[in-house]
A and B are shown apart, each in its own frame.
Chain A
Amino acid sequence: MPTAIEDFNLALPMQHSARSETDLASLVAQYSGLLFRVAHSVLRSRSEAEDAVQDTFVRVLEHQRTLHSIRDMRVWLVRITWNLALDRRRRIRPDQIDDLFAATLVNPGTPADEVLHEAQRMKTILREIDRLPKKERQILLLSALDELGTTELAAVTGRSESAVRALLFRARTRLRTRLEKGASA
């Protein structure tokens, strides 16, 4: 059982192109962290996010013959991971996972009588994020990772850069409005 990345010899059988990006081990080493955060922003579970990353690289293995036609590997992997994470979130029970994730967001110094209230507030925000329109939610979560620029976000979502900026603004405004309305109600 190999323990180090260097022990794996999973060079993809590319006949026409010998680019280093097609080496699966290097792909995993380069993009697994980003893909994990992308999946975690949707799933909010570390184990589920890791499974989504594994599924992503299995897809890479299945499409190894067409990898040479992919122009931007980073964008392509993020898009696959996002879609796989959405599919996986439909199969799991998000409420229980959000409870656990909201509990980790509570400040450690919070008094015991306010912990439950703060966790409930975090869970409300997570629920409002999920209620956002599909593209706005995607732009909001991916931009929060601070690893994808506007150009890459535009490539991932299939929109223009100006549309990405507009979607991000609308997402924040809509979320703020809903949260204020929920707090006043």
Chain B
Amino acid sequence: MNNSDQDLKRILNALRDTEPPRAMQQRVLASVAQREAMPSRIFPWSFVALAATVGIAAILAINVMPRGAHSSSEVTVLPKPSVSQVAVTVPAPQPLVPHASAKAPAGNLAAQTARRPHQLLCDCDPTALAEANAPSMPPPELPLTEQEKLLRRIARHPNPVEVAELTPAAREAKIAADNDDFKAFFTPPAKAQAPE
């Protein structure tokens, strides 16, 4: 018998002589008992099916219920605003002389100021709505025309030439006077009579 046979015999003998660990039987029985104590596999599935059925029935019942039945408990009741609170919501009046950069038309601005309180307040208080939707006093001014803008610039920086531009008749008269003066200055004098 060579070394390989001896080694093989030693391995097989070692496998044969292996003793089970101490108290293995108790551990095996304990694990099996624990496994046996676990609920069966049928119970969870039946429980899940029952829970799903109850859930679907609850959803259907909620959808079938009339809307008015639960409105009183879900609508938020806002307190009635006092006069001071309404005054706060009304926008302040616009300045009399609008800023030069204010390009928005007056209609849009009025519409914006009229919409904002409506969005802030609920429909349950007509007094507050009436106060909020009332027209602003005084109303916003219209933008200046080109002539008004020119007048304002002239009033701030007076210029005679520009004043003449505003009155065609005076302008024509001034031009005529200037031409007369030019001609009078450059017209050659009449030849004097030579003495004999």
Query: Could you say which of B8, B11, B19, B26 contacts A3, with CB atoms under 8 Å apart?
Result: B26
Query: Could you say which of A40, A60, A105 contacts B10, with CB atoms under 8 Å apart?
Result: A105
Q: Chain B: which residue is nearest A35 at the CB level?
A: B20
Please tell me if the beta carbons of B32 and A58 are within 8 angstroms of each other in the complex.
yes
Please tell me if the beta carbons of A176 and B4 are within 8 angstroms of each other in the complex.
yes
Query: Could you say which of A50, A61, A176 contacts B20, with CB atoms under 8 Å apart?
Result: A50
Please tell me if the beta carbons of A36 and B20 are within 8 angstroms of each other in the complex.
yes
Which residues of chain A are within 8 angstroms of B30 by Cβ–Cβ distance? 1-2
Which residues of chain A are within 8 angstroms of B3 by Cβ–Cβ distance? 121, 183
Query: Could you say which of A5, A44, A49, A179 contacts B25, with CB atoms under 8 Å apart?
Result: A5
Please tell me if the beta carbons of B31 and A10 are within 8 angstroms of each other in the complex.
no
Mask, A100-116, CB within 8 Å of B = 1, is 00001100000000000
Query: Could you say which of A25, A28, A32, A145 contacts B16, with CB atoms under 8 Å apart?
Result: A145
Query: Could you say which of A5, A36, A105, A122 contacts B26, with CB atoms under 8 Å apart?
Result: A5
Which residues of chain B are within 8 angstroms of A10 by Cβ–Cβ distance? 29, 32-33, 36
Q: Is B191 an interface residue (CB 8 A)?
A: no
What's the dominant secondary structure at chain B's contact region?
Answer: helix
**Looking at B15, B28, B30, B35, which has the most chain A CB atoms within 10 Å of its CB?**
B28
Query: Could you say which of B7, B12, B27 contacts A50, with CB atoms under 8 Å apart?
Result: B27
Q: Is A53 an interface residue (CB 8 A)?
A: yes
Q: Is A8 an interface residue (CB 8 A)?
A: yes
Which residues of chain A are within 8 angstroms of B60 by Cβ–Cβ distance? none
Please tell me if the beta carbons of A105 and B11 are within 8 angstroms of each other in the complex.
yes
Q: Is B71 an interface residue (CB 8 A)?
A: no
Please tell me if the beta carbons of B18 and A180 are within 8 angstroms of each other in the complex.
no
Query: Could you say which of A2, A46, A144, A146 contacts B21, with CB atoms under 8 Å apart?
Result: A46
Please tell me if the beta carbons of A28 and B31 are within 8 angstroms of each other in the complex.
no
Mask, A121-134, CB within 8 Å of B = 1, is 11001100100000
Which residues of chain B are within 8 angstroms of A104 by Cβ–Cβ distance? 14
Please tell me if the beta carbons of A50 and B15 are within 8 angstroms of each other in the complex.
no
How many residues of chain A are within 8 Å of chain B by beta carbon?
A: 45
A160 and B160 CA atoms in complex are apart in Å by 135
A32-B20, A61-B36, A179-B4 known; A5+B14 contact, CB < 8 A: no
A105-B11, A125-B8, A176-B5 known; A32+B32 contact, CB < 8 A: no
Q: Is B24 an interface residue (CB 8 A)?
A: yes
A33 and B4 CA atoms in complex are apart in Å by 29
Q: Which residues 154-188 of B have a CB within 8 angstroms of A?
A: none
Query: Could you say which of B4, B14, B24, B36 contacts A32, with CB atoms under 8 Å apart?
Result: B24
Please tell me if the beta carbons of B5 and A28 are within 8 angstroms of each other in the complex.
no
Please tell me if the beta carbons of B8 and A175 are within 8 angstroms of each other in the complex.
yes
B residues near A (Cβ < 8 Å) are 2-5, 7-8, 10-16, 18-21, 24-33, 35-36
